[in-house]
Every structure is written in C-alpha cells, then in structure tokens.
C-alpha cells in the first residue's frame, strides 16, 4: 500500500511540475478562469478557455514514471505551439494539470488564462486535425514548428501506445462535469504527418552559392547556398565533369547552377539539385567593386541616395 501511495504521489508531482510550473500560486490568487474573466466583462470581448483531458496508457495500469515525464513535456510544447498558431500566445509553465484520476493515468489540462473565443475554437479544430490525420495536405494554418513538434510526440511513444485527448466543445462554460469527445494520438498518426511534412517535390530552378566538399570519385558536390546558408547536394552528369573540375581551381568563386531542384513540400527547404547548366564567377576585386558606384547617377532622380532609400523603406512599411 505504501509503495502505491509513493508511486502515485511521484507521478502527480512530475506532471504538475511539467504542466504548471510556477503557476500554482497564480491560480490560488484568482488568475484562473473565473466566469467574469472568461466572458471578458468590461473589455467587450467574449473570452473562452483552452481546456482538455489527457489519458496515457488507456486501459492499462499506471504509467512508467520516466515516460510520464517525457510525454508530458512533448505534449506541453505541442499545445503551446498550436495555441500560438491559433492566436493565443502562451509561455512555458502556463498549462495547469488538475483533477487527476487513477487507472491508466489521466487529468484535466487547462491554460491558466482566458483566450479569445475564435482562438479556442481553432485550437480544438487543430487537435482534431492532427489526431485524425491520414494523408492529404498540411494547411498553412499550422506552422512548421507545430508540425515538427507533433511528429516529436511519436518519438516518445511506442507503436502500441495511445495518448487520448478529451476535447471540451463547450468552451464558454466552467462546468467540470461536461463530457468531452475523445481523439487519439498514436505513433502511426505522427508518422502520417511526418511523411507529408517531409514529402519532396521537384521544380526547375537556379541556385547560387560557394563550393563545398567534392569527392571526385562521386557524381556530386556540396554547395553553400548564398540565400539560406544551407549545404545542398548537387549532382552532375558525366559530360560536365570538366566544368565542375574547373570550378575548384578557385574555391572562392561564386557558382550559378540551373537544373531540377528537390525540396520539402511544406518547409520549402532545398534538399538537392540535378544540374543541367553550371557557371562560375570570380569575386570582384576592390577596384571593380568601387567602379559600381556612380554607374547610374539618374536612378534616384532629384533625390540623393539616402533620401531615396528612406522613401522606399517607408513605402514598404505602409
């Protein structure tokens, strides 16, 4: 009996520490979701709550303590990033776990402040979208940070494990007895999202960068892209080997490449290129660089250069 009590207290302590660190005093002092604050009286806004139930290892008996802590951490990040996408800015430590119950392991989890009504609706919609995902597109409503974090949840659960999310659709009420609708997060669902997120697509385009590592016995070299700073693997045909070889006579040269680009569909990150055309340009000398100044004296009209740049910047900000 003593062992069970100690184990239960330890599990509760870890989850509270993960979800509501530093917030318990705030809740005692009345910064939780009171009816008046929820309805935004005095501000003309209808406010709502971000609130759900979670169950770990449903149908089982208890949860490993290390897994409880790890899953809680990854879920907290996902909820926080998803809320950000929905227009609710939440800091670490502002989710509170309460009303724990035994069996598998479960609790109610809620944001200690109120949010706008639309944000709460979007949050619940996002929970359902990710939990039910099989295939298709990832809409731009959800940032790449949120998508990656959902995928990370799959890294801390086993193939036969399930995380149940109980979603409260009545976001305006404080009734703790209302029945949620249940969704599930499994490793399979996170992999479905992962496959679409990292799906590659092809297009014809151009890259510009500086030369990286080249293994002469291979059919590719690495290019340091000037725009993103990332290393991109560039494959070339055997008939342009001599062109590539000539590039490396001047490793400081800027290289322009045209060909088929493969990139991640969601993030747009370029992964590799199949080169169809390539050319390098030697860097400008100091004297060549100075000759650029004054090439177009009438470009700014009656304005001096400084005023002209300021006007362009102001137009962009308008």
Give the model confidence (pLDDT) of 238-291 as tens digits: 999 999 999 988 878 899 999 999 998 777 889 999 999 999 877 777 888 788
Separation between Cα atoms, residue 74 and residue 71, nearest integer Å: 5
- Structure-derived torsion over alpha carbons of residues 65, 70, 73, 78, reported in degrees to the nearest 10: -130
Helix axes 2-20, 65-85, angle to 10 degrees: 20
Residues 154, 259, single domain; the answer is: no
In a domain, 306, yes or no: no
In a domain, 313, yes or no: no
pLDDT of 300 strictly over 60: yes
Residues 253, 230, single domain; the answer is: yes
Domain boundary among 197, 230, 254: 197
175 or 83, greater pLDDT: 83
pLDDT of 26 strictly over 70: no
pLDDT of 206 strictly over 60: yes
Banded model confidence at residue 211, pLDDT cuts 50, 70, 90? very high
Separation between Cα atoms, residue 115 and residue 184, nearest integer Å: 24
Pairing between strand 270-281 and 231-235?
Answer: parallel
In a domain, 272, yes or no: yes
pLDDT of 18 strictly over 80: no
Domain boundary among 197, 218, 244: 197
Q: CB of 141 within 8 A of CB of 127?
A: no
Residues 101, 29, single domain; the answer is: yes
> How many other CB atoms are found less than 10 A from the CB of residue 35?
10
pLDDT of 1 strictly over 50: no
Pairing between strand 270-281 and 254-264?
Answer: antiparallel
pTM: 0.62
Q: How many domains does the chain have?
A: 2
Domain boundary among 164, 180, 197: 197
Banded model confidence at residue 45, pLDDT cuts 50, 70, 90? low
Residues 191, 210, single domain; the answer is: no
The pLDDT of residue 194:
93
Residues 235, 268, single domain; the answer is: yes
Nearest to 68 by CA among 23, 134, 16: 16
The pLDDT of residue 42:
45
Range of the domain at 213: 200-285
Banded model confidence at residue 135, pLDDT cuts 50, 70, 90? confident
The pLDDT of residue 151:
96
- For the chain, report the end-to-end CA distance as a whole number of angstroms: 69
Mean pLDDT of 124-139: 93
Nearest to 130 by CA among 168, 95, 78: 78
Residues in the chain: 318
Average pLDDT, the chain: 82
Residues 79, 137, single domain; the answer is: yes
The pLDDT of residue 12:
41
In a domain, 290, yes or no: no
pLDDT of 103 strictly over 70: no
Flag the least confident range among 93-97, 183-187, 255-259.
93-97
Q: Which residues contact 110 (CB under 8 A, 6 or more apart)?
A: 33, 49, 50, 51, 52, 95, 96, 98
pLDDT of 22 strictly over 50: no
The pLDDT of residue 193:
95
Residues 54, 174, single domain; the answer is: yes
DSSP class of 230: -
Residues 267, 122, single domain; the answer is: no
The pLDDT of residue 175:
65
Residues 79, 181, single domain; the answer is: yes
The pLDDT of residue 116:
93
């Amino acid at each position: 009996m003593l062992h069970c009590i100690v184990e239960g207290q330890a599990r509760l302590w870890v989850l509270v520490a993960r979800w509501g660190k530093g917030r318990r005093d705030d809740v005692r002092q009345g910064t939780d979701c009171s009816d008046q604050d929820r309805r935004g009286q005095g501000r003309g806004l209808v406010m709502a709550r971000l609130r759900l139930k979670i169950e770990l290892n449903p149908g089982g008996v208890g949860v490993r303590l290390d897994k409880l802590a790890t899953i809680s951490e990854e879920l907290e990040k996902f909820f926080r990033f998803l809320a950000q996408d929905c227009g609710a800015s939440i800091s670490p430590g502002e989710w509170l776990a309460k009303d724990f119950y035994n069996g598998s392991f479960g609790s109610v989890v809620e944001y200690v402040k109120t949010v706008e009504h639309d944000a709460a609706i979007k949050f619940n919609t996002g929970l359902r979208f990710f939990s039910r995902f099989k295939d298709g597109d990832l809409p731009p409503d959800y940032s790449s940070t949120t998508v990656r974090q959902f995928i990370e949840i799959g890294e801390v659960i086993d193939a036969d494990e399930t995380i149940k999310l109980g979603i409260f659709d009545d976001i305006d009420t404080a009734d703790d007895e209302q029945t949620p609708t249940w969704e599930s997060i499994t490793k399979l669902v996170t992999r479905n999202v992962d496959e679409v997120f990292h799906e590659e697509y092809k297009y014809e385009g151009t890259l510009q960068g500086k030369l990286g590592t080249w293994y002469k016995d291979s059919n590719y070299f690495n290019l340091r892209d000037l725009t993103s700073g990332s290393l991109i693997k560039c494959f070339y045909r055997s008939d342009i080997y001599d062109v590539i070889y000539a590039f490396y006579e001047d490793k400081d040269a800027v290289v322009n490449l045209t060909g088929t680009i493969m990139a991640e569909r969601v993030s747009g990150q370029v992964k590799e290129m199949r080169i169809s055309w390539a050319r390098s340009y030697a860097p400008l000398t100091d004297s060549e660089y100075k000759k650029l100044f004054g090439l177009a004296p009438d470009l700014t009209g009656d304005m001096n250069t400084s005023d002209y740049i300021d006007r362009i910047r102001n137009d962009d900000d308008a």
